[in-house]
């Protein structure tokens, strides 16, 4: 006789992946409950993708004003109000969060608030003031991740990508520690808004090894051109707070330091939110980085417990979490075991200029294919012929010589993420270099370079 549960499906975490799973499961006839301890919408909506992109938009205007002069415009006095922008941003985030919650209610999902811990493989306890226990046939962990902070003296004076969205005042000088996508995006944001930016990085190269080497080198050149200050081969040892409220940042093994800065932001990675759920006591296994190990269907080492999104051991991107949430719901309640193909996941870095990428980078292609051709072009876009800006675009294709299949496409420049999103469709359909070559260019655009590069700049034989 099958056990009688309070619900068929309990979702822990009200972010993109969890909300999608809950809604689809309910539509498929399951009795569903969901709990969120902070704000519905998760990292992406509340303190990630959406507010960050709004900040990127805000920061673009300073260069728009500068570039306008080359096109005959006279731009008068201009100023930026941090207070007005933050108020507008907060209103939009509150609206979006309420939409997420309303959509759940409209889908007949039971919506709860509070921190959840596991009692056993089918029972959770929610700390909502009453410590209620709920049993479920299946439980989904979709708790996302959080910024990782170092254990150094004075770290309490620093902020992370969580707090940066809620600063009451715009800093005059911010030190950003790290050189990954979050660090570089906020370096561009604050620079565009008029803040002095210093990026501190323990290495020499920007972004992680998962990005193509040409992208890493090109974005480094472009950000240095903008007079963003970089301190390479430096590691923060401690932070001290002055009586004035400003901060001093001291580096390891060096006499060098940064004095009197307004904010220090750590963007040195993220950690999965899996360590406060009592998961280990019910037999769930973890990867070395603390994420939850899952199979292709999102199932953990415990048959009744699944995980999606940043808390799991796969790709930490919002669109991936959404697909995973949908797949878990279909697997459990749709009668169709569904996995997510992660072989061609496009990604973007909203630096200035922006990065878009899909498929294999050059190093990955070299490790998997015997012979590859590299098509690469660097050029000044038409816009900057009159603006006078020194910014250059990079486009790159990686092609398997034997099949002529395009293995990877990479770009830096205005609208690179928008362009790469469309190219991702072509790559998923198995496009070849001949398909690109036979496509008539749309002129004048930067994207036309993808279909007009005829000669490989490098060959591996």
Strands 372-379 and 458-459: antiparallel
Q: Where are the beta strands (DSSP E) in 63-177?
A: 110-113, 115-120, 123-127, 132-141, 145-147, 173-177
User: What 3-state class would DSSP assign to 383?
Assistant: helix
For residues 339 and 397, give the distance between their C-alpha atoms in angstroms, rounded to a whole number: 28
C-alpha torsion angle, residues 411, 412, 413, 416 (rounded to 10): 50
Tokens at residue 112, please?
A: 């709860």
Other Cβ atoms within 10 Å of 220 Cβ, number: 18
User: What 3-state class would DSSP assign to 377?
Assistant: strand
Say if CB 28 and CB 334 are below 8 A apart.
yes
148 appears as a binding residue in the annotation: no
* Nearest alpha carbon to residue 271 among 295, 283, 282, 287: 287
Q: Is 115 a catalytic residue?
A: no
53 appears as a binding residue in the annotation: yes
* Nearest alpha carbon to residue 328 among 15, 28, 59: 28
DSSP code at position 441 = P
Other Cβ atoms within 10 Å of 44 Cβ, number: 24
183 appears as a binding residue in the annotation: yes
Tokens at residue 341, please?
A: 């193909």
User: What 3-state class would DSSP assign to 430?
Assistant: coil
| For residue 444, cis peptide bond before it (omega within 30 degrees of 0) | yes
253 appears as a binding residue in the annotation: no
Beta bridge partners of 115: 127
Interior angle at CA 361, CA 317 and CA 266, nearest 5: 45
For residues 399 and 416, give the distance between their C-alpha atoms in angstroms, rounded to a whole number: 20
310 appears as a binding residue in the annotation: yes
Tokens at residue 93, please?
A: 């985030």
Give phi and psi for 415, each to the nearest 5.
65, 15
Say if CB 167 and CB 159 are below 8 A apart.
yes
- For tokens 């996302």, the residue is 144
Sign of the alpha-carbon dihedral angle for 150, 156, 157, 159: positive
Tokens at residue 40, please?
A: 């519905």
Helix, strand, coil shares, percent, the chain, to 5 = 35, 25, 40
Catalytic residue among 173, 191, 378, 443: 443
For residues 219 and 201, give the distance between their C-alpha atoms in angstroms, rounded to a whole number: 15
33 appears as a binding residue in the annotation: no
Please state the residue numbers annotated as binding site for FAD: 53, 310
Annotated catalytic residues are 443
Which residue numbers belong to the known binding site? 53, 178-185, 269, 310
Binding positions for NAD(+) are 178-185, 269
């Amino acid at each position: 006789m099958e056990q009688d549960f309070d619900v068929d499906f309990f979702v822990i975490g009200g972010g993109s992946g969890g909300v999608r799973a809950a809604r689809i499961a309910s539509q498929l006839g399951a009795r569903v409950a969901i709990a969120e301890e902070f704000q519905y919408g998760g990292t992406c909506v509340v303190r990630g993708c959406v507010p960050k992109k709004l900040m990127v938009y805000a920061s673009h205007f300073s260069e728009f004003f500068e570039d306008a002069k080359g096109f005959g415009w006279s731009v008068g006095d201009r100023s930026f109000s941090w207070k007005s922008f933050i108020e507008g941003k907060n209103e939009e985030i509150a609206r979006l969060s309420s939409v997420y919650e309303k959509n759940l209610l409209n889908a007949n999902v039971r919506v709860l608030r509070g921190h959840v811990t596991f009692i056993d493989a089918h029972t959770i306890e929610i700390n909502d003031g009453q410590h209620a226990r709920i049993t479920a046939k299946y439980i989904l962990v979709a708790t996302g991740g959080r910024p990782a902070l170092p254990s150094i003296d004075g770290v309490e004076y620093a902020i992370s990508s969580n707090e940066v969205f809620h600063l009451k005042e715009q800093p005059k000088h911010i030190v950003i520690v790290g050189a990954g996508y979050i660090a570089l995006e906020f370096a561009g944001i604050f620079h565009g808004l008029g803040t002095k930016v210093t990026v501190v990085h323990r290495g020499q190269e920007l972004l992680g090894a998962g990005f193509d080497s040409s992208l890493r080198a090109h974005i480094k050149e472009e950000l240095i051109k903008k007079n963003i200050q970089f301190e390479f081969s430096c590691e923060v040892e401690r932070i001290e707070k002055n009586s004035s409220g400003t901060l001093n940042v001291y580096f390891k093994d060096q006499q060098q330091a940064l004095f009197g800065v307004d904010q220090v932001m750590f963007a040195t990675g993220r950690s999965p939110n899996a360590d406060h759920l009592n998961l280990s006591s019910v037999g769930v296994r973890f990867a070395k980085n603390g994420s939850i190990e899952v199979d292709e269907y999102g199932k953990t080492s415990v048959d009744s417990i699944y995980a999606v999104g940043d808390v799991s051991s796969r790709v930490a991107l919002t669109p991936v979490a959404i697909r995973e949430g949908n797949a878990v719901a279909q697997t459990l309640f749709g009668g169709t075991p569904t996995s997510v193909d992660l072989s061609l996941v496009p990604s973007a870095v909203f630096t200035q200029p922006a990065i878009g990428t899909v498929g294999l980078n050059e190093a990955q292609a070299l490790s998997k294919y015997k012979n590859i051709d590299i098509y690469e072009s660097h050029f000044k876009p038409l816009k900057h012929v009159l603006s006078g800006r020194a910014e250059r675009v990079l486009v790159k294709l990686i092609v398997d010589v034997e099949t002529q299949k395009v293995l990877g496409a990479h770009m830096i420049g205005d609208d690179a993420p928008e362009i790469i999103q469309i190219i991702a469709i072509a790559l998923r359909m198995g496009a070849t270099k001949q398909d690109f070559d036979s496509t008539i260019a749309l002129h004048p655009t930067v994207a036309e370079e993808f279909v007009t590069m005829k000669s490989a700049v490098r060959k591996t034989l």
